[in-house]
Structure 1
Amino acid sequence: MGGRDKGLVDWQGEPLIAHVHRAVRPLSDDLVISCNRNQAAYRAYADQWVGDAEADFPGPLAGVIAGLKVARHAWVVLLACDAPLVDRDLIEDLLRLAVAGNSAAMVRQGGFWQPMFSVLPKRVLPVLEQAWAAGERSLQKALLREAVQGLECAESDRRLSNFNSPERLQD
């Protein structure tokens, strides 16, 4: 996105984060956004804000660890800020799967794990911290150290679309 903060890029007249917020807000009174800049701009979309413990923005795993540390509930919904087509049905399906199996649940799309569409039990925090301390930086690999249930979604499922480039904003 040319160095711009993806969550704040406009799509259909609103920042991408506003679309994600609309889907998840009815499901929680504790929305945590992991952001390393522009925290003031995210205030309308979250109850808490966290940043990475390290200054070089080491990736999603660091943000997830920071978010889990402050989360007030036993289950945490993990979503990307640049996935404006995610809907409540998908989130509720993940929640049901996680709670029923008493383990993390993650979307599998076309045979590939999609860790930024997950529901995690807060109790995975020590596992993720251990992975981090051992040098792991991949959120997916760290999560898969624990039992994870897959929610199968079609490759063509638009709800999982990430808007990672200016071209995608034309969709």
Structure 2
Amino acid sequence: MTDCAVILAGGQANRMGGGDKGRLVLGNQSLIERVIDRISPQVGPVVLNANGDLSRFDDLGLPVVADSIGDFPGPLAGVLAGMDWAAEQGYEWLISVAADTPFFPLDLAERLAEHDTPVVLAATPDPKRGRLPQPTFGRWRVALRHDLRAALNDGVRKIRQWTQSQGETLVIFDEGDFFNINTPEDLAWAERHLK
């Protein structure tokens, strides 16, 4: 069975002045539409993780799930929401991608699925540290959701703090594959890159 996927769009976008960062337009499409178009051919069903009024995403035609842990605990809560949804759909594995990263690899899911450790994260080369994890891009065994929920309830917020305890595997991709848009300058760079 193909994996399912969650698009993480639950952040507060503080560096962009708030609002839904995924709704920023790049070229003729919003970032989130680009992410949907990029991940959909790689997986089975896709769910969106967001918070607040979920009906604002009705136009995308995807199911939307909110964090089950309050106070914006970060991307791990979005992964947990995706895991819970995946379990309801009968899936064993979940791929996660970020709504603000429009150029991630077209073979992301395939390459992550080559490893069957409980958590597999994307990473890029880093001249100083050797490799730089991209922890919002991963493949997660859905059965870990109870452990993840307990960790979040215990105050864990950093993704790697939890994934390393699960015996993560890092898969190296190209350096520019996970350029994410956090500032107006990033969006301007992405516009130039698109052309």
Superposed counterparts of 1:18-97, under 5 Å: 18-37=33-52, 39-45=54-60, 47-71=62-86, 72=89, 73-97=91-115
Identify the match of residue 133 of structure 2 among 103, 107, 113: 113
Three-state SS of the structure 2 residue aligned to 1:36 is coil
Work out whether 1:127 is the aligned partner of 2:171: no
1:73-125 CA-to-partner distances (Å, cap 9, x unmatched) read: 1110110100000132123211223xxx3432101222222111101111111
Query: Distance between the aligned counterparts of 2:41 and 2:180, measured in 1?
Result: 22
Letter in 2 for 1:78: S
Q: Mark the runs of 5 or more structure 2 residues left unpaired by the alignment.
A: 1-15, 190-195
TM-score (norm 2): 0.77
2:184 & 2:49 partners in 1: Cα distance?
A: 22
Mean Cα deviation higher: 39-48 or 161-170: 39-48
Structure 1: which 5+ residue stretches go unaligned? none
| Mapped contact 2:103–2:178 kept (Cα < 8 A) | yes
| 1:46–1:146 Cα change, 3 Å | farther
Q: What does residue 170 of structure 2 align with?
A: 150
Q: TM-score, normalised by structure 1?
A: 0.87
Is the contact between residue 53 and residue 66 of structure 1 (CA under 8 Å) also seen in structure 2? yes
Quote the RMSD (CA, aligned, Å): 1.8
Percentage identity across paired residues of the two chains = 28
- Paired letter, 1:96: E
Could you tell me which residue of structure 2 aligns to residue 2 of structure 1? 17
User: Structure 2 counterpart of 1:17, which letter?
Assistant: I
Give distance in 1, aligned partners of 2:173 and 2:45. 27
**Number of the residue aligned with 2:180:** 162
Q: Is the 8 A contact 2:156 2:162 kept in 1?
A: yes
Q: How far apart are the structure 2 equivalents of 1:96 and 1:46?
A: 30
CA separation in 2, counterparts of 1:39 and 1:29? Answer: 22
Residues 133-142 or 43-52, more deviating? 43-52
- Give distance in 2, aligned partners of 1:19 and 1:170: 16
Distance across 2 between alignment mates of 1:58 and 1:166 = 25
Question: Equivalents in 2 of 1:12, 1:62: separation in Å?
Answer: 30
